[in-house]
Chains A and B, each alone.
Chain A
Amino acid sequence: MNRPDSIRPGVPMIEFRHVDKYYGSYHALIGVTETIERGEVVVVCGPSGSGKSTLIRTVNRLESIDGGQIFLDGEDVYRPGIELDRFRSGIGFVFQQFNLFPHLNVIENCTLAPTHLRGMTPAQAKDAAMVLLERVGLADKANAYPAQLSGGQQQRVAIARALAMQPPLMLFDEPTSALDPEMVGEVLLVIRDLAHQGMTLVVVTHEMGFAREVADRILFMDRGAVLERARPDDFFNRPQHPRAQQFLADIRSPFAPS
């Protein structure tokens, strides 16, 4: 699925250069070198503890790195003196646990950052947020509090909240892993819509059906390294690395028709 803007030449959206990360003596990321282009939709998959979440969390410095470099839109993310808050506001991040602010209602969740960081008036921020809530199908829940929403609805609000900062890049850290099965679909559909609009997305997920349909490229990680990078069709039908083959065999339900 080649979009015009995904083949635009120029600076890549994210560039990892030999990134190393340790948790104590545990080597969580081992010399990761990877480029994610503008407009690309990349799914990162792999077994638990493979470093997928750590990888995307290093991009907005929720995790520090111990070696190598990361560039975002050509800017060195770990450059000393970087305006960290301004920089982070340009990256949408969606968490596994939603992390909505429980003391604020839906619209306040979506307008908090834009009013304080983008200089929007409350009215402007509210109008913009309503457009986004419309987009994730929750305009009617604008005045509800997070505790009154289902998990799927909360995650869609979290996506709208991240979008409210108009980031050119969205990172998703297992956005559906904390959801009941019947709510996974509504969240994935929202993410798919973003993909179709040409946003740059990096999605850590175990939803292989989603990966197959939406991703431009799949990164397979295991034990802190990217072992395979492939188009979905190649990855699912012709995995090259033995551990990728093993992973695909493992996640196939033992009850699935062969």
Chain B
Amino acid sequence: MIDIIDTYWLYFLVGQYPDGPLGGLVLTILLGFSALVLALPFGVLLGLARVSERRWLRWPVTALVYIVRGTPLLMVIFWAYFFLPSVTGHKTEQFSTMLTALVFFNGMYIAEIVRAGIQGIARGQMECARSLGLSYVQAMRYVILPQAARNMLPSLVNQFVTTLKETSLGYIIGLAEVSFIANQINIQLLTRPVAVFSTLALVYFVLCFGLSRLAYYLEVRHSRTAAGTARS
């Protein structure tokens, strides 16, 4: 196994870069991180639309969330890969296609997490904030969302881990992320699938486990600074 790592570690890490496009683990991390960073605000906006009192905003977004949640991610990727270029007129390369699909798909799930988080806050909080004279937006920003965020954190982390793993579906459109690269290595070696794919599994595990632990650490530190508020 050492010999495989010794030979292929750079390929595994960055793909053909710098002689070709960036790939491998670095691309996976880049894709996963970009998807998280973009899907979160997108999902928060959709979630706010889901609880909006304005029907013209709430109904279409609700319909969209239900439709996308009833669709496999693979199909969304196909749509982004084959359909999007025909609409926009120019061919998108695989990274941005995959990123679009991930942000779009995960935004819907995050929207539901945000909606549940907001609706889990007692109605009196919004009433009280408004009675002080805060606008709806101010009440959301300073009163509702900070409380909702704490309740949402475990579900959000779960979603983030899922997103990270979903980057592997980039394989299907030929994106040279780490699973794709691992398969290339396997094809070259032919006889060592267990070693190659065990290494791949271990890498995913470390990434996902690390992300959950980081979130857990943040959660603990947060509840410590706001001592006593977790009760009640």
Contacts and interface: CB of A to CB of B under 8 A. Distances in A.
Interface of A: 60, 62, 85-91, 93, 95, 97, 99, 101-103, 112-113, 116-117, 144-148, 161-162, 165
B131 A93 contact: yes
Interface centre among B131, B135, B138, B147 (most CB of A within 10 A): B131
Contact of B226 (A89, A93, A112, A145): A145
B134 interface: yes
Contacts of A147: 228-232
A91 B132 CA distance: 8
A93 B229 CA distance: 23
A112 B142 contact: yes
A86 B133 contact: yes
Contacts of B150: 103
Contacts of B124: 95, 97, 99
Interface string B117-159: 0000010110111111111001000110011001000000000
B227 interface: yes
A165 B113 CA distance: 34
* Range of interface residues on B (Cβ < 8 Å): 20 to 34
Contacts of A148: 228
Contacts of A101: 125, 128-129, 143, 147
Interface in B64-84: none
8 contacts: A86-B133, A95-B127, A97-B122, A99-B127, A101-B128, A101-B143, A102-B147, A112-B143
B138 A145 contact: no
10 closest pairs, A vs B, by CB? A89-B133, A99-B128, A113-B132, A93-B131, A99-B124, A147-B232, A147-B231, A88-B133, A148-B228, A145-B229
Contact of B229 (A89, A91, A103): A103
Nearest to B142: A112
Contacts of A144: 228
Interface string B206-232: 000000000000000000001111111
A150 to B, nearest CB: 12
Contacts of B138: 116
A142 B132 CA distance: 19
Contact of B134 (A93, A99, A113): A113
Nearest to B126: A99
Given A99-B124, A102-B147, A103-B150, A145 B228 contact: yes
Interface in B83-131: 122, 124-125, 127-131
Given A99-B125, A99-B127, A85 B135 contact: yes
Nearest to A161: B132
B104 to A, nearest CB: 31
Contacts of B229: 102-103, 145-147
Contacts of A89: 132-133
A222 B217 CA distance: 55
A95 B124 CA distance: 8
B114 to A, nearest CB: 17
A144 B147 CA distance: 17
B226 to A, nearest CB: 6
Contacts of A62: 127, 130-131
